[in-house]
Amino acid sequence: MRLVFVASDTNVAQQAHRKLVERYGNVPAEQAELIVALGGDGFMLRTLHAWRALEVPVYGMKLGRVGFLMNKYRLEGLPERIARAHTASLFPLQMQVTDAAGVEHAGLAFNEVSLLRQSNQAAHLEVKLNDAVKLATLICDGVLVSTPAGSTAYNLSAHGPILPLDANVLALTPISPFRPRRWRGAILPHRTEVILRVLDPGKRPVSATADFHEVRDVRTVAIRQSGDQGVRLLFDPEHNLEQRILDEQFAAQ
């Protein structure tokens, strides 16, 4: 198999990159049948964004702080591990933003799209699902829409639900909600379009972020799951992503 190795800029990842290239060779990305990403989850997200157009699977090895999307690092036996690996398909969220100047922006998120207040003033947001207003005013620090793969990241820290990978749902989770005080969010069918409108953008500015792409001073944000821009991740059988998501629900608090 023609492999291309990509690594984060940490010393440990760069050293592993040199060893793996020496052992297994390295081809230009455009000729690769598989991408091997060396780093943490943040680097994996950047790899998915950078090389998504190649439409080849990605096999990650953990050489960073967080490795939920990664396999364990080992130098030996890589071809055999790849041959045994399970495939998980991830479909990103599409973010369409109109900012305060009327400029349109777009972004993709494999984890989540989040809105956050930019000042000491709480955000005032209208929440619409498809064509129906569900919350006329949500007062909060922010709100996020998460994919199943991202549900154990920022979404979980905001007390959102963990979603099974094959559940075909998204999580809509408020961040420090003030009104409605007891609203904890919703689980949505994956084809739902979420439209978030900032009610007082001048006094209460809000930013929107798709993974690591941020737009500031937003007025409206439309979010929907893409059905044709998916990526394939490979996982060792003993560390497959579906099992990790299930196990996370029983992790010690």
Average pLDDT, whole number, for the chain?
Answer: 93
Whether residues 234 and 133 share a domain: the answer is no
**Spatial separation of the C-alpha atoms in residues 223 and 138, rounded to whole Å:** 17
Q: For residue 102, what are the domain limits?
A: 93-225
Residue 29 banded pLDDT, cuts 50, 70, 90: very high
**Spatial separation of the C-alpha atoms in residues 154 and 238, rounded to whole Å:** 25
pLDDT attached to residue 119 = 95
Per-residue pLDDT, averaged over 161-186, amounts to 92
Give the H or E element holding residue 83.
helix 78-84
pLDDT attached to residue 167 = 85
- What are the tens digits of pLDDT across the range 206-229? 999 999 899 999 999 999 999 888
Whether residues 115 and 189 share a domain: the answer is yes
Whether residues 206 and 127 share a domain: the answer is yes
- What are the tens digits of pLDDT across the range 87-120? 989 999 999 999 999 999 999 999 999 999 999 9
Q: What is the CATH number of the domain that holds 198?
A: 2.60.200.30
Whether residues 30 and 134 share a domain: the answer is no
Catalytic positions are 41
Whether residues 69 and 109 share a domain: the answer is no
**Spatial separation of the C-alpha atoms in residues 60 and 239, rounded to whole Å:** 12
Whether residues 28 and 110 share a domain: the answer is no
In a domain, 253, yes or no: no
Whether residues 244 and 209 share a domain: the answer is no
- The answer to whether residue 253 scores a pLDDT higher than 60 is no
Position 28: which residue type? P
Non-local CB neighbours of 136 within 8 Å, separated by 6+ positions: 126
Whether residues 21 and 71 share a domain: the answer is yes
Residue 64 banded pLDDT, cuts 50, 70, 90: confident
**Number of structural domains in the chain:** 2
- The answer to whether residue 252 scores a pLDDT higher than 60 is no
In a domain, 192, yes or no: yes
- The answer to whether residue 127 scores a pLDDT higher than 90 is yes
Whether residues 62 and 113 share a domain: the answer is no
